[in-house]
Structure formats: structure tokens, C-alpha cells
Structure 1
Amino acid sequence: MTEEYVRRTAVTRLSVSDEQRALLEATIDAYRDGCQMAADMAWPNTKSKSDVQPLAYDTIREETELGSQHAILATHQAAEAITGCYERRSKGLKTSKPRFTAPTVTYDTRTMTLFENNAVSLATVDGRVRCSLVLPQDDDGYQWQFLNDERWELTESTLTARDGAYYLHMGFRRFRTEQEREADKETAEDGTVLGVDLGVNNLAVTSTGLFISGGELTHWQNEYEKRRGSLQQTGTRWAHEAMQRVGRKEETRFTILLHEASNAILAEARENGCTHIAFEELTDIRERLPWATWQHRWAFRKLYEFVSYKAVEDGISVRQIPPNYTSQQCSHTDCGFTHEDNRDGGSFECLKCGYSVHADYNAAKNIAVKYAKKLRRSHKSSDGGVSVDIPLNSGSLIVEGPGTVVPG
């Protein structure tokens, strides 16, 4: 069933005074404690929000300074974390009781108000604070498309503390347009799929052989980390303000890089007549890429978001597919042999058939094939399904019949 809403996130820094900073910091600490209390009480037998809330609510209210709504949100976040643990366990992944260490706090429409003058009112452990949003001077800044369009409705958001600054990850939603509903239909008729694999060395690799390097993102990430480290050692007020400027520059630069990457992926899809773009699922990206930093994981989600909303204009559907074994399975037409030793870093060589290719390209092909098979299964027809084309760097693959893959 098609999701009724389109959902997006706009990250914006807040302008806060020293007094407001202290209240927000205290609220984050109390919220983190509340989430952990709820997880401690619910683990491992309780995971639904409706069960965790009555179990932990009174304790959170008694032992923290959180207001009633934030206490409820803390129980809900604990429930979601425990549910995620159950899902990872069902996939054979190791898991343990959730630990809440991130400097974040969740806000909803009861605990946050957005005003027309681009200020927000946030509930804290001691009343509310009203802070201004630090927005781009130019009207083409991506936040403006949500703030200036009445179709977008503010939903649950997250406040994050980073390097002495506070960032509000504002959640927005709007109803899907008819055009978007058509693009979202899971039909394989005349379908052509572009697979996209994500990584650190290569930010994205497509099944057509397009490589988008992650080198520039990693380079600037390291540069900004060095600057922050040097400023932290100084410890002056000037250094604190300079760190905030570094954070703004980093976000701006990374956003530009990700827009360029999304444009390249969409250009590749258009050139090859693709009706669908398949990304690997981002849910367990931390486990699959343990060496990826938070900047990389943020970049993966932003890239997917940018491609998704830009693809609507071309009627291209963008989806995620579970990446199980896509990096270990041989993508050669007549093989499909799966073994963890097939991959060695950036190289892939099948132990069975000897097929040798770049590992990220092999994974991108497998992602495309998996999604093409899903599309076939979703298409109900008397002839047992239609064929789905997968363009490659040379030639193509066709998924047809009962899910078989043949050279194009």
C-alpha cells in the first residue's frame, strides 16, 4: 500500500543564548535518562509503545524533570529501539539492550511550535525557550521549500547538540500528489531498474557502472574535524563561535556534494530510460559499514532523500531493498554463488566461476536484480509476469519467467 504522505527532514541550526543553552542541555540529559529508564524496565520482554508507556511513564516523571509529553516520547523511543533490536535479531545479527548516549531529544507538535517569523518554541525541563532558526540568506536554500510552502506540515522533529551548537532536524510531511502516486505504483510493466550501492570509498556506485567517489566528502570531513579539534583545545568564546561557523560550512559543503551526486544518479537513470531506482536499505547501515562515520551515514540518508524527491519530476520510483548478501553474491548471469570470501575489500572474485569485478559494482548489480525480481512478483498477470530490464556498463540483464536472469 502506497504511503499517504511524502516525508522530508530539514536540518537547521538554532540561535541560542547561554541561558537557553543550559536549559536545552539539561533537557537533553533528562530525555536521555528517561529513554534509558524505559529501556531498562521494558527489556527484553516488552516492545510495543502501548505497553512500554504505562510501564515506565510514572518512573520517568518521578525521577527526571521531564514534562508529561516528553516522558511519553521517551517511552516511545525506547519501544522503537527495542523493536529494532528484535528485527536485527530476526536477521541473525547480534543485539543487546539499547543504550542511549546520543545528545538528542525528540519534539512533537505538543512540545514544539514553529512561528511565521522562523522562530521555534521548545519545551524544556523548566518552561519553554524561543529560538530563531539560522536559515540561508538565499531563497534557494533547501529549508525554504518546506517553510514557504503551506502544503508542508511540521511533524516530529529531533534536537541534536553537536560541537557546542544545537541543530533542529525538523520533520515535514505533505500529501502525495497524483503524479507521485503513479510513480510509486509497484508495477514492473516496461520496467527498467537502476541499482545503487552505497559505501565510504565510493559514495555511490550504480549498476550501469557510474562511480561517485566518496573521497571529497571524506577529505573535507577530516579537514573539519582537524579544525574543530584545534578550536576545542583553545577553549575561548571566540573558539566556540568559530566551531559553530565550521559546522555551518561543513553542512553547506556536504549538502552541495550530495546534490551533485543525486543529480548524477538521476542523469544516469534518465539516460538509460530507468523507471525505478533501487537503493540498498539503510536501516542496518551501521552494522554493514561499521567504519562509516556519522557523517557518512547522514550522507547516505540525505542522498536517498535528494534522489527520491527529484525523481518525482521524471516519474521514476525510488525504493530501498534489503541488501542481504549483495556484497557476497556473484552477479554473473549463470552463477549466483554466495560466499563471504568472494569479496576482498574493493575486489570481488567468485570462488566458483572466477568472475572478477569491482566489489561495489557487483553489489549494485545484485541490488538491481533483487528489486527487479520483487517488481515481477508484484505484477499480477495471466502470463506469470513481465520482463524487467537492468542496464549495465556493457549490455544489460533481463529478469523474466519465474525470476530468471538472462543476458540482454
Structure 2
Amino acid sequence: MEDRRTTAIELDVSADADRLLQETVAQFEYCANATAEWCWADDGGHTVTRIADAERRLFRRFRRETALPPNLVQQAVRRGVEAVKSSVARLNDGERVGRPGFASGLAVYDERDADLDREGASLATTDGRASCDFVHSTNVEETLDRLADERCEFRGGHLECRDGDWYLHASTVRVDASALESDGEHGTALGVEVGEENVAVASDGTFWSTDGLANGCVAPAGDSQSPTGSGVKSMDSAVENETNGAVEEANSAVEKGTNEYGRAELYLHRVGNELVTAAVEHGCSHIVFEDVTHDSEAGTGASATTSKLLRQYVEYRAAEHGVEVARVTSESAAHRCSTCGFEHEDNHDGERFECLECGFQNHAAYNASRNIGASYRRRQQNATETNANAAKQ
């Protein structure tokens, strides 16, 4: 199984590099929007949803019209097609959806267009490469330490400009064969730990840091500044149809940084989409969150609010893929070893987990997420056994 993490790394960008990155992002968005326009059938005709068809028609055109490297052109076409596919799916569900568009100021990179080392990143642009140093932090150091592991690889990410600062959301993957388990009868559960240090940590090893939140702020339910008042579907439209007139106000608030709550909740929605994608890729039947409402302290804090919003976004998207969302009460998730089952409060110290019994070491949130998934599977097994016993009597 893959141990996948995504970390937002701030870049120290010179004036020349900033100019190149701005040009690259602008041309990337032009290609993505032009792809969506070409694929979309405004007259009710055939809508193109195959990436190969769009590439055959548009690749050479974009190579003539822009200075983007070939790989970035392919990524832009893919982004446009995927947005169209998502809109078509919602149309088929009876929603009123317009042609998708992009105005988020980002470009998608893979390992062919971005190189990372201990000091910084080298990114393909419209005119050669731009070298950018990292603004070092704990998260950056952890990512670089992972890349030093021969089992770990950089798998690309996306580059975005946020309030004048550049960030590379870098994805790293490492083999972890024991991350997800299935008992066959009850399917596989993707456990999710939501906390203060990380927005979410999944039991497949994917981490989403709080860097994507605006100062860590998530609006309380009912806050007049929060876009959640429009419902999860309108937030989904804000993600996929960023230039659609129906969401221009939300887009302006999110992308221009005028509403920190809007930015935070859009980030949570993106995390939710990626959680569902991970569950589908791993063949999971359930995505499981810890139920913190029973805890009077945790149930009223920022983590509980984040968990609630994230769960709402996941529930909406998961239903489209036949994946169920569940909650479990697991008071021992933080202190129980997900490898041997030994439970002791001294196993857990801040973000560090080290089992006193078997010596298993890992990030505490990752260990907890595995316990959350395992707790749900045990509950399902117990329910099945209880029902079977009752049927025999």
C-alpha cells in the first residue's frame, strides 16, 4: 500500500522567477479553460469527456499558442477534461451546471516538470526552469526527510500563488504494505483523523496540513461570512466552476483572499474530494471519521467544526461513487498501537507515537487514523456475529 502525503511548501521566489511563474500559471489556465470550452457542448450536442480525444485535437494548438512545455500542456488539458466530466455528472443528477472554468491561479506539475532537493525546487516554466528556495518549516523538513528514503518518491503536485506568496503542494509516496487491511466480508475502511496540526490524516498515509487553511480559521456553523450557508453543492460548484457567474462572489472571496473563511472552507472541500478519490482508488467501501461529539471539550473546538464540515463535503462526493461515510467512537484511537493492539497513554506523546510493547513508531495522527478504520471494521464484525447468533436462537 502507498503511504502518500501532500505538503504545502512556501517558496522563496525572486522577481525574475515570479514573472516566469506568473506567465506559466496564466498560460496553464488559458489552456485549461480553452479545453473546457472545446469539450463543452452549449447547444446540447456531444460533450467530450475523453482526455485522449481532447489531447489529439488541442495539444498541437496549445503548443503553437503558448510557450508551455509539453508536459504542462498535457496537464492543463487533463484538468479541463476532468472538470467537464464532473459537470456532466452533476447535470445527469439533475443539477443546473454551466461550463466549468478556472481562475484559481495554479498549475499542475508532475515529477517530469519539478525537481526537489534539500534546498529548493526547480520548476518548468514558459522560459526554461525557475529555481526557488524553500521557506523551511517543520513540515518542509519532514517532507525532505521522506525524500531521502529510497522507498519514497516525489509524485508532483500543484503550484499556486496565494496573496502574493508562492506555494508548491508537493506529493510524496512511499510503500507501506500494512496501511489498509480488509477482512473480505466487510470491505475496506479508510480511517480519517481530524486534528489541530493536520486538517486530516488518512489511514493510507496521506496527510493534509493546516497550511491550506486561512490562519487555521473555519467559520462556525451559521456564520454569515461562511459560504457553507449556500450548501455543499454550491461549494462543489465553486471548486469546479470558478469563473461561472453564479459563484463569482465566492471565487473572489476565496481566490483574492478577501474572506479567510471562504478560503478555508474551499480548502476543506478539496481535501474532501481527495479523500473520496483515495477511497475509490483503494477499493474502500467506507470512509470513517472519529465521532468527537461525545467529548464535551473536543466536540466544541476547532477540530470538531473542521471535522463536521469535512464530513459533509465527503458525504456529498462519496455518494456519487457508492462509498459510505461512517463515524465511530474510539476513545483509544490515540493511545492504541495500530500494529499490535497494545494500549497505553505513554505510547502517545504529541505528534509522536511509539508503542511500548512492540516498538512500532509513526506519526500519532497516522496511527490514530488506522485505529479509526480498524474500530469500524470490528464494530461491523461484532454486529454481524450478534445478528447471526440471534438468528440461531
Task: Compute the TM-score of the two structures, normalised by the length of structure 1.
Answer: 0.50
Q: Distance in 2 between matches of 1:192 and 1:113?
A: 35
Q: Distance in 2 between matches of 1:55 and 1:125?
A: 22
Residues 5 and 175, structure 1, Cα contact 8 Å, conserved in 2: yes
Structure 2 match to 1:19: 16
| Aligned-pair CA distance for 1:167 | 0.2
Tell me: CA distance 1:196–1:61, structure 2 relative to 1, closer, same or farther (3 Å).
closer
Structure 1 match to 2:25: 28
Q: Distance in 2 between matches of 1:302 and 1:147?
A: 23
Residues 147 and 153, structure 2, Cα contact 8 Å, conserved in 1: no
Tell me: CA distance 1:287–1:79, structure 2 relative to 1, closer, same or farther (3 Å).
closer
Q: Distance in 2 between matches of 1:72 and 1:140?
A: 28
| Aligned-pair CA distance for 1:293 | 2.6
Residues 14 and 166, structure 1, Cα contact 8 Å, conserved in 2: yes
| Aligned-pair CA distance for 1:81 | 1.3
Residues 10 and 166, structure 2, Cα contact 8 Å, conserved in 1: yes
Residues 188 and 388, structure 1, Cα contact 8 Å, conserved in 2: no
Q: CA RMSD in A?
A: 5.1
Q: Distance in 2 between matches of 1:52 and 1:21?
A: 30
Q: Distance in 2 between matches of 1:284 and 1:105?
A: 25
| Aligned-pair CA distance for 1:104 | 0.1
Q: 1:221 aligns with which of 199, 208, 217?
A: 217
Residues 121 and 131, structure 2, Cα contact 8 Å, conserved in 1: yes
Structure 1 match to 2:131: 130
Query: Within 5 A, what are the aligned runs for 1:52-71?
Result: 52-71=54-73
Residues 193 and 368, structure 1, Cα contact 8 Å, conserved in 2: no
Q: Distance in 1 between matches of 2:188 and 2:238?
A: 28
The residue identity in structure 2 corresponding to 1:221 is C
SS at match of 2:121: strand
Structure 1 match to 2:4: 7
Larger radius of gyration: 1
Tell me: CA distance 1:197–1:58, structure 2 relative to 1, closer, same or farther (3 Å).
same
Q: 1:96 aligns with which of 75, 95, 98?
A: 98
| Aligned-pair CA distance for 1:135 | 2.0
| Aligned-pair CA distance for 1:301 | 6.2
1:368 pairs with 2:326: yes
Residues 192 and 389, structure 1, Cα contact 8 Å, conserved in 2: no
Residues 119 and 131, structure 1, Cα contact 8 Å, conserved in 2: yes
1:112 pairs with 2:109: no
| Aligned-pair CA distance for 1:166 | 0.2
Q: Distance in 2 between matches of 1:18 and 1:174?
A: 35
Q: 2:235 aligns with which of 282, 286, 298?
A: 286
Q: Distance in 1 between matches of 2:214 and 2:111?
A: 36
SS at match of 1:54: helix
Q: Distance in 2 between matches of 1:101 and 1:30?
A: 11
Tell me: CA distance 1:64–1:219, structure 2 relative to 1, closer, same or farther (3 Å).
closer
Residues 151 and 174, structure 1, Cα contact 8 Å, conserved in 2: yes
SS at match of 1:25: helix
1:170 pairs with 2:170: yes
Q: Distance in 2 between matches of 1:388 and 1:285?
A: 33
| Aligned-pair CA distance for 1:367 | 3.5
SS at match of 2:55: helix
Q: Distance in 2 between matches of 1:195 and 1:5?
A: 15
Q: Distance in 2 between matches of 1:106 and 1:193?
A: 29
Q: Distance in 2 between matches of 1:151 and 1:285?
A: 40
Query: Within 5 A, what are the aligned runs for 1:323-338?
Result: none
Structure 1 match to 2:152: 152
Structure 2 match to 1:87: 89
Residues 5 and 176, structure 1, Cα contact 8 Å, conserved in 2: yes
SS at match of 1:73: helix
Residues 152 and 174, structure 2, Cα contact 8 Å, conserved in 1: yes
Identity, % of aligned pairs? Answer: 24
Residues 287 and 326, structure 2, Cα contact 8 Å, conserved in 1: no
* Matched length: 259
Q: Distance in 1 between matches of 2:49 and 2:84?
A: 6
| Aligned-pair CA distance for 1:133 | 1.6
| Aligned-pair CA distance for 1:84 | 1.6
Q: Distance in 1 between matches of 2:139 and 2:25?
A: 32
Task: Compute the TM-score of the two structures, normalised by the length of structure 2.
Answer: 0.52
Tell me: CA distance 1:23–1:140, structure 2 relative to 1, closer, same or farther (3 Å).
closer
Q: Distance in 1 between matches of 2:136 and 2:283?
A: 29
SS at match of 1:101: coil
Q: Distance in 1 between matches of 2:156 and 2:3?
A: 14
Q: 1:295 aligns with which of 242, 254, 264?
A: 264
Query: Within 5 A, what are the aligned runs for 1:264-279?
Result: none
Tell me: CA distance 1:55–1:109, structure 2 relative to 1, closer, same or farther (3 Å).
same
| Aligned-pair CA distance for 1:92 | 3.5
**Deviation larger for 41-50 or 84-93:** 84-93
| Aligned-pair CA distance for 1:52 | 0.8
